[in-house]
Amino acid sequence: MKLSRGIVAVGVAKKVYTEARKPENQARIRSAVQKVRDRRR
């Protein structure tokens, strides 16, 4: 059970990493981070 959970975690992490490298997604990530920072203030 632990092995399959680890494999799934690696797969999800790889997908997130490849999506985060795309320029349009980088802009979305930056704007989301900025919104969170603004809410904290």
The model's pLDDT over 16-40, given as tens digits with 9 standing for 90+, comes to 999 999 999 999 999 999 999 999 9
Q: Are 29 and 19 in contact (CB under 8 A)?
A: no
Model pTM score: 0.56
The closest of 39, 6, 18 to 31, measured between CA atoms, is 39
Whole-number pLDDT of residue 12: 95
Reading the block at residue 41, the tokens are 């203030």
Which residues have a Cβ under 8 Å from the Cβ of 29 and sit 6 or more positions away? 20
Whole-number pLDDT of residue 33: 94
The pLDDT confidence band at residue 13, using thresholds 50, 70 and 90, is very high
